[in-house]
Amino acid sequence: MRVVLGVAGGIAAYKAAHVIRRLREIGHTVTVVPTPSALEFVGAPTFEALSGRPVTTDVFDFVDQVNHVRIGQDADLVIIAPATANTIAKIAAGMADDLLTATVLTTTAPVVVAPAMHTEMWLNPATVANIATLRSRGVHILEPAVGRLTGPDSGPGRLPEPEDIVAFALAAVGSDEPSASAQGGALTGRRVVVSAGGTREALDPVRFLGNRSSGKQGIALARAAHAAGAEVELVAAHVDTGLLSDLPADISITPIESTLDLQEAMETAQASADVIIMAAAVADYRPAEVGESKLKKSGDEGMRIDLVQNPDVLAGLVASRRPGQFIVGFAAETGDATHTAHEYAVEKFRRKGADLLVFNDVSADRAFGHDVTEVVVLAADGDEVVDAARLAGTKDDVAQKVTAVIAERLTPVESTP
Ligand code: CTP
């Protein structure tokens, strides 16, 4: 389940760290959305390290991804713990002046609020009325515990213990069991980002330079990683019609067009990815100039198109990866008079430096768009190719086998404090 954990600015914000850990232990993914004042109590790096995902408080961050809408729309459950009197009042009033309140306003997922504040604030008629408003709208309120508060005072207003918050929240959505994916999937708790399809480089508003990639292999990998319990993002360049329509709803799809779009999407995704699979067929060049209007024929003359080189997205991801992040490249090769396709693949692997390179020989147009494929998986140890496994079958079979190879080679999930 994709859980958004909102954290408001109270002394109990430190308990949110344990809520994150507990949720992740039982297989849920957690996006933390603190209010700006929550970060006065607990720093963003703590939330990022514990959740494994970027943290922002501002609706103006990641504007291109319409973050304030997307986080709410993607959530299966929103928990606010601790919820201060101020945040409760803003939610009751329907305000949206930070990322957390905007997220609450956009989500259709169940919302669980765990208030924590001084007794006087909790019992104040304004808070009492706001809580009644939230309850009347179906928000689940976890009554604060009675006990020692920040100072010497004690009374109702204390944030319940993290295990109780998690148990209450899961019961509220009718899921007090660990999620299915938590029950032993080889990639449970991992975030996998897969690129698929062929990039398109615009020549003018209607024409582009493209390639024959169908996207089948990348989409099969996204599906296989999801089936193995991973949280999956599919960065989709152009793919064949219909391929995206029957994917599991919780695979998030980021559509892109060009290599530069791909680079931007992958760099953003890299921040929170445990595994990156670059199955997209990427254009190495793009037109130096893109016509603002449709290019016209000029007499009987031919046409020259100047191309400039695109960045190597995979090489860039490898260069900037964090420790433990696992990166897989793909290569479709043809042999020639001097080298076999395999030799070219080995050379490419050494040049790019990923953890695995999945290569197929497309000499006789055997791979693009077909359901059955044969690949060789090259595994590197430094510059040395240490093993090569030949896998054949449908693209789904190959995807499952490649996914299993990846899962075997991942470093174990670090235990959090
Ligand atoms: N790739 C990439 N960025 C590019 C080109 C390729 O990220 N500009 C990635 C592909 O997604 C794939 C791998 O690199 O995972 C190999 O792609 P391929 O097109 O075979 O490699 P090139 O570097 O383009 O090599 P070549 O000179 O053979 O075209």
Domain harbouring 162, CATH code: 3.40.50.1950
Question: Domain range for residue 210?
Answer: 189-287+304-407
To test the pocket of ligand 1, the residue of 201, 270, 284 to mutate (highest count of ligand atoms within 8 Å of its CB) is: 284
Residue 413 lies in a domain: no
Residue 297 lies in a domain: no
In the numeric block, the tokens 């020639």 are attached to 336
Q: What distance in angstroms lies between residue 184's CA and the mean position of ligand 1's atoms?
A: 34
Q: Does residue 282 have its Cβ closer than 6 Å to ligand 1? A: yes
Same domain, yes or no: 10 and 159: yes
The pLDDT, as a whole number, for residue 417 is 47
- Structure confidence by residue, pLDDT tens digits, 78-111: 999 999 999 999 999 999 999 999 999 999 999 9
The pLDDT, as a whole number, for residue 278 is 98
Q: Are 83 and 6 in contact (CB under 8 A)?
A: yes
Q: Tell me which residues are annotated as active site.
A: 211
Percentage of the residues of the chain whose pLDDT score is greater than 90: 60
Same domain, yes or no: 193 and 130: no
The pLDDT, as a whole number, for residue 180 is 44
Residue 182 lies in a domain: no
The pLDDT, as a whole number, for residue 39 is 96
Q: What distance in angstroms lies between residue 195's CA and the mean position of ligand 1's atoms?
A: 12
Same domain, yes or no: 280 and 389: yes
Angle CA(71)–CA(265)–CA(331) in degrees, nearest 5? 135
Same domain, yes or no: 275 and 337: yes
Name residue 198's beta-bridge partners. 238, 281
Q: Which residues are annotated as a binding site for CTP?
A: 284, 294, 311-314, 330, 348, 352
CA distances (Å), 130 to each of 122, 124, 358, 401, 416, in order? Answer: 10, 10, 56, 53, 36
The pLDDT, as a whole number, for residue 373 is 80
Residue 359 CA to residue 352 CA, distance in Å, equals 13
The pLDDT, as a whole number, for residue 145 is 86
Residue 102 lies in a domain: yes
Residue 63 lies in a domain: yes
Same domain, yes or no: 164 and 197: no
Same domain, yes or no: 23 and 158: yes
Among candidate residues 167, 176, 1, 158, the one with its CA nearest the CA of residue 74:
1
Instruction: Look at ligand 1, atom 24, and give the residue with the nearest C-alpha.
Output: 284
Q: What distance in angstroms lies between residue 343's CA and the mean position of ligand 1's atoms?
A: 15
Name residue 94's beta-bridge partners. none
Residue 71 CA to residue 33 CA, distance in Å, equals 9
Q: Which residues of the chain have pLDDT under 50?
A: 180, 182, 415-417
Among 125, 144, 172, residue at a domain's last position:
172
Closest ligand 1 atom to residue 315 Cα is 7
Same domain, yes or no: 98 and 216: no
To test the pocket of ligand 1, the residue of 259, 260, 314 to mutate (highest count of ligand atoms within 8 Å of its CB) is: 314
Q: Does residue 345 have its Cβ closer than 6 Å to ligand 1? A: no
Residue 181 lies in a domain: no
Q: Does residue 222 have its Cβ closer than 6 Å to ligand 1? A: no
The pLDDT, as a whole number, for residue 262 is 98
What does pTM read for this prediction?
A: 0.62
Helix axes of 85-93 and 125-136: crossing angle, nearest 10 degrees: 50
Same domain, yes or no: 81 and 226: no
- Structure confidence by residue, pLDDT tens digits, 176-210: 555 545 455 789 889 999 999 999 999 999 999 99
Residue 354 CA to residue 254 CA, distance in Å, equals 23
In the numeric block, the tokens 């990815």 are attached to 273
- Reduced 3-state DSSP string for 384-397: EEEEEEEEEEEHHH
Residue 298 lies in a domain: no
- Please tell me the total count of domains within the chain: 2
Same domain, yes or no: 2 and 102: yes
Residue 179 lies in a domain: no
Q: What distance in angstroms lies between residue 329's CA and the mean position of ligand 1's atoms?
A: 8
Domain harbouring 210, CATH code: 3.40.50.10300
Among 106, 138, 172, residue at a domain's last position:
172
Same domain, yes or no: 193 and 273: yes
Q: Does residue 310 have its Cβ closer than 6 Å to ligand 1? A: yes
Same domain, yes or no: 62 and 197: no
Same domain, yes or no: 4 and 140: yes
Among 116, 139, 172, residue at a domain's last position:
172
